[in-house]
Amino acid sequence: MQTFLRIGTRGSPLALAQARETQARLMAAHGMPEHAFEIVVITTSGDRIQDRPLSEAGGKGLFTKEIEEALLERRIDIAVHSSKDMPTQLPDGLELSAFLPREDARDAFIGKAARAIAELPEGAKVGSSSLRRQALIRRLRPDLDVVMFRGNVQTRLRKLDEGVAAGTILAYAGLKRLRLEHVITDLMPLDTFPPAPGQGAIGIESRIGDRDVETMLTAIHDVPTGQALACERAFLAALDGSCRTPIAGHAVITDNRLVFAGLIISPDGTQSHEIKAEGHPEEAARIGDEAARAVRAKAGEDFFDGWA
Ligand SMILES: NCc1[nH]cc(CCC(=O)O)c1CC(=O)O
């Protein structure tokens, strides 16, 4: 039997788990065998750069460039991504056309010296390379020593075992998908430790106007996740580009109501501005965009210039 769709993905264990989940959902939705959906592994610049923070090396696009080239050159038909890693601007001709049902969006703490951040000894080292997590950790515990932690989930957990830090923070969703929930010692509350826009949601990118692909994806697309992501990504799009200011944003849809909470915070964690918004899920993108304007007005333009 022929291949129906070629699924492009990075080769990290988390990326592969996400590609396999997408493959399994496509098989179930269309009653087709595994070989109808071929997984094609693509190495990206983000996978090769290991020596500096990604925010310095060129940002989110580093994980998507080679995969998007493969999509545009028709070497693959869809690309499976962590939505959190997707830039808000996609190349001409490509779109995020489907989202799988979102996993838990919270961050998780993996502690060695203590089970929770609040219980860490004074001055303890916490590893993270995410500007958002670094700022949120500093806001909770200004005394802690936040150290750089890069590499994939397994690498970071190995560093913890080697004693490089007393704890680290990773996405609950990623740990679940890797069947590594057992390493978690605490879950971070959404209100004091809001996730990155898109966290926990697998996004599927495809060529705009590729009808056959769109038809196949409709069967696995989760509408509420798509609406939450439209809101969060609109919030991000209206704020990023201008800055390296850490941004958090999370939308939830219940009873046909979208509730969004966003946060911008200085990298040292001392200054932050929160915004709450809600409305009809079909207005998702507008709600996110207006929330961005409102938080920008609250914070003042200077807030975005200070920490380049
Ligand atoms: N930047 C790496 C990355 N991209 C997505 C996830 C987790 C899975 C997700 O948020 O969907 C992770 C690892 C982490 O933050 O712990």
The single residue listed with the structure tokens 């495809």 is 206
| Residues in CB range of 298: below 8 A, 6 or more apart | 273, 275
* DSSP H or E segment with residue 157: helix 153-161
CATH (one of 3.30.450.40, 3.50.50.60, 3.40.190.10, 3.40.190.290) for 1-101+201-221: 3.40.190.10
Find the distance separating the first CA and the last CA of the chain, reported in whole Å: 54
Identify the CA nearest to 224 among candidates 48, 54, 114, 100: 100
Which one of the listed residues 85, 210, 240, 289 is annotated catalytic? 85
The domain segmentation of the chain, as residue ranges, is: 1-101+201-221, 107-187, 222-308
Which residues have a Cβ under 8 Å from the Cβ of 212 and sit 6 or more positions away? none
From 9, 10, 14, mutation site for ligand 1 pocket: most ligand atoms within 8 A of C-beta? 14
Per-residue burial over 27-59, b = 16 or more CB atoms within 10 Å of its CB, e = otherwise: beebeeeeebbebbebebebbebeeeebeeeee
Candidates 279, 238, 230, 273; CA nearest to 259 is 279
Which residues 6+ apart lie within 8 Å of 189 measured at CB?
106
- Fold of the CATH domain 222-308: Double Stranded RNA Binding Domain (3.30.160)
Does the annotation count 77 as an active-site position?
Answer: no
Superfamily assignment of 107-187 in CATH?
Answer: Periplasmic binding protein-like II (3.40.190.10)
> Do 107-187 and 222-308 share a fold?
no
What number is the ipTM of this complex?
0.97
> Other CB atoms closer than 10 Å to residue 252's CB: what's the count?
16
> Tens place of pLDDT for every residue, the chain, 308 residues?
678 999 999 999 999 999 999 999 999 999 999 999 999 999 988 777 766 666 666 666 778 889 999 999 999 999 999 999 999 999 999 999 999 999 999 999 999 989 999 999 999 999 999 999 999 999 999 999 999 988 889 999 999 999 999 999 999 999 999 999 999 999 999 999 999 999 999 999 999 999 999 999 999 999 999 999 999 999 999 997 555 789 999 999 999 999 999 999 999 999 999 999 999 999 999 999 999 999 999 999 888 776 65
| Nearest CA residue ID for atom 7, ligand 1 | 174
Q: What is the CA radius of gyration of the chain?
A: 19
